[in-house]
């Protein structure tokens, strides 16, 4: 989507930028590939990532498809 962000951008700013850009693109589905990589994170990080995915999907009112092994 050619987002112009710096490496020092804070997480909540990145989330806002992603939601703003995706709302203009108006997708109907959020496809997440390699979701099994969450298994290498700690339980706390897994919960945070899944909550972020859920928040974005609810905010944009899209379906989630997660693919992985």
16-27, pLDDT tens digit by residue?
888 999 999 999
**Token output for 12:** 């909540």
Question: Could you identify the residue written with the tokens 């050619």?
Answer: 2
pLDDT at 7: 86
**Token output for 64:** 């989630």
Question: Could you identify the residue written with the tokens 């700690």?
Answer: 42
pLDDT at 65: 95
């Amino acid at each position: 989507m050619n987002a112009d962000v710096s490496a020092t951008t804070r997480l909540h700013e990145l989330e806002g930028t992603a939601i703003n850009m995706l709302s203009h693109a108006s997708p109907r589905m959020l496809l997440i590939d390699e979701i099994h990589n969450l298994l290498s994170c700690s339980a706390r990080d897994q919960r945070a990532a899944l909550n972020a995915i859920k928040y974005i999907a609810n905010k944009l009112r899209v379906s989630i498809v997660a693919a992985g092994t």
